[in-house]
Amino acid sequence: MRINIREDQRLANADQTRSSSNADDGRGHLSERALWDFCEFTLRTMVDQITFMEQLLDFDGLERRIEHYVRVVDTQVAPEGKRVFLLLSDALLRGEFPRGEASRIVGASDRTGRSILTLAIEAGLLVSDTPKAAVRLSLPAKVHETYFPQLFPTNQVTGTT
């Protein structure tokens, strides 16, 4: 049984006293039916918002958009875009990785691995807490339109039409 009320009244109604004339309204002094209605509304709203944000962020295509950014959009890293992407992809999937693994990730010598890692850090695409700490994915403002195009539509961010 649903209570037909405005959504902004659901929380207030959850604190209503129990209806003594209604046997299915719980056993305590507050209305169990109104509390259930509030909880159901809150959970439905949460699921709706999670679904909405999931569509905007489109995590299934994020890795592809990151690759497009480093190979095409960012001319600073584009010459090494394939290798930079390998580092960013690893950081995306693992959360972070030790700097010493850069050469293994890009499949190159230690020197080349450090060079590619430095390029990604200087471009602001990877970040760490200290110069020797593990690195993780960074989300500087310059990547927002490419990484999350639904969240940051081009004409809204730049003001172009």
Q: How confident is the model at residue 36 (pLDDT cuts 50, 70, 90)?
A: confident
Q: What is the pLDDT of residues 98-112, one digit of tens each?
A: 999 999 999 999 999
Average the pLDDT over 27-31 and give the result.
59
State the Cα–Cα distance between residues 66 and 129, nearest whole angstrom: 22
Q: What is the pLDDT of residues 140-149, one digit of tens each?
A: 999 989 998 8
Q: What is the pLDDT of residue 134?
A: 97
More confident residue, 41 or 9: 41
* 78 pLDDT more than 90: yes
147 Rama sector, left if φ>0, alpha if ψ -120 to 50, beta otherwise: alpha
Exposed, middle or buried by CB within 10 Å (0-12, 13-18, 19+), for 109?
A: exposed
Confidence of residue 3 (pLDDT cuts 50, 70, 90): very low
Predicted confidence band at 159 (pLDDT cuts at 50, 70, 90)?
low
Say what the pLDDT of residue 1 is. Answer: 40
